[in-house]
Structure 1
Amino acid sequence: MNQHHGTKHLTFGQRCGRTLKHLRSTPAAARKAFPEATLKAIETAIADGETVHNAEIRLIVEAALTPGMAYSGISNRQRARELFAQYGVWDTEDNCGVLIYINLASHQVDIVADRNVGRRVSPEEWQAVCRTMTTGFASGNFHDSTLRALQQLNTLLQSHFPSTGPRSNQLPNEAILL
């Protein structure tokens, strides 16, 4: 989870700079960072993980916030929570949904977990997963660092929510590019 809790108190200049940064990050940049082969590998990693644990994972990559959201100061965490609700990650049978939200313009990753998962996994464990991604992303390695983070997350979830046998898939495994 990202430790940036909000950006509401930015100056006018900071707001304008943040907005420009998000305007420069395009959907094409997101597709370059997460091409079809990477998206398929992510889908496979999520599906494979869900055979060893009872949690449900969604991964959303957003190239940038809208200019209005960027200027208004919405934080990465706030946006992740909004998408957690919008995509129904909270709506799993055992309250065990996990959203990984990547904002490319902000260079930030947040994880939002439903209450059952949130009670058992420590903030330090979430931070370690996020760091795996952000460290790799800093060097332009989106594919391998995302897959390493998913492996790390799957192992973590398996330790807290081991599989109890075959079950229905409650959330799609495909990554979402916004």
Structure 2
Amino acid sequence: MSEHKNQPAVLGRMLGHLATTHGAARRAFPSATLKAIQAGIAAGEKMHRAQVRVIVEASLSLGAIWRRESARQRAHELFSRYRIWDTEENCGVLVYLNLADHKVEIVADRGVSRLVTRRQWQDVCGVMTAGYARGAYHDSTLQALGQLNALLAGVMPNDGASDRNELSDKPLVL
């Protein structure tokens, strides 16, 4: 019985994802914004040892929605697919933005996650979601990235021993 009760929610979510196209992602994150995010990641990685990757996804597949895949589950899948876990210090951090669900998820490898509280991650996500609700994708993403970089500099400061960039700083738009 409960499965039938949830079908309207699934169908509504499907409509939202169908309406959020790749073009919507490109309008929210134009080339100038993507370049600014890349520069922000590169600048931050001079302050800390973590490796940050940003992935923007307009919407999920209909199959993923039908299976009730959450933005958190998708973030974990992308964390694995793009090998964000594959860093020397286990210090990869994924910032995943799902536009259709209006969700921001941060997935961090064990070298970082043990040093940062859930509340601190939520604060960074909150900056983005509040800004996105106002349509301020550029400014709120850069503000949150600055907050993330400061947080990571506090828990994993750059010790000068390694300036190796293990993950691309270029944000992905799926």
TM category, shorter: over 0.9
Q: Distance in 2 between matches of 1:9 and 1:129?
A: 36
Confirm or deny that 1:105 pairs with 2:100: yes
Task: Kindly report which structure 2 residues correspond to 1:73-92, keeping only aligned pairs within 5 A, or say none.
Answer: 73-92=68-87
Q: Give 1:39 deviation, angstroms.
A: 0.2
Give the number of aligned pairs: 171
Confirm or deny that 1:173 pairs with 2:169: yes
Q: Give 1:15 deviation, angstroms.
A: 1.0
Task: Kindly report which structure 2 residues correspond to 1:23-172, keeping only aligned pairs within 5 A, or say none.
Answer: 23-165=18-160, 166-172=162-168
Contact kept, 8 Å, 1:18 with 1:71, in 2: the verdict is: no
Q: TM-score, normalised by structure 2?
A: 0.96
The aligned counterpart of 1:4 is none
Q: Give 1:10 deviation, angstroms.
A: 6.8
The aligned counterpart of 2:9 is 14
1:15-60 deviations in Å (ceiling 9; x for gaps): 1111111011000000000000000000000000000100000000
1:94-151 deviations in Å (ceiling 9; x for gaps): 0000000000000000000000111010000000000000000000000000000000
Q: Give 1:9 deviation, angstroms.
A: 9.5
Alignment partner of 2:52: what SS? strand
- The verdict on how the C-alpha distance between 1:78 and 1:38 changes in structure 2, with shifts beyond 3 A counting, is same
Which runs of 5 or more structure 1 residues have no equivalent in the other structure? 1-7
Q: TM-score, normalised by structure 1?
A: 0.94
Identity %: 53
Q: Distance in 2 between matches of 1:169 and 1:123?
A: 26
Alignment partner of 1:41: what SS? helix
Q: Distance in 2 between matches of 1:110 and 1:36?
A: 22
List structure 1 segments (4+ residues) > 2 angstroms apart after TM superposition. Answer: none
Q: Distance in 1 between matches of 2:140 and 2:103?
A: 14
Alignment partner of 2:32: what SS? helix
- The verdict on how the C-alpha distance between 1:11 and 1:115 changes in structure 2, with shifts beyond 3 A counting, is same
Contact kept, 8 Å, 1:46 with 1:173, in 2: the verdict is: yes
- The verdict on how the C-alpha distance between 1:139 and 1:46 changes in structure 2, with shifts beyond 3 A counting, is same
Contact kept, 8 Å, 1:91 with 1:97, in 2: the verdict is: yes
The aligned counterpart of 1:3 is none
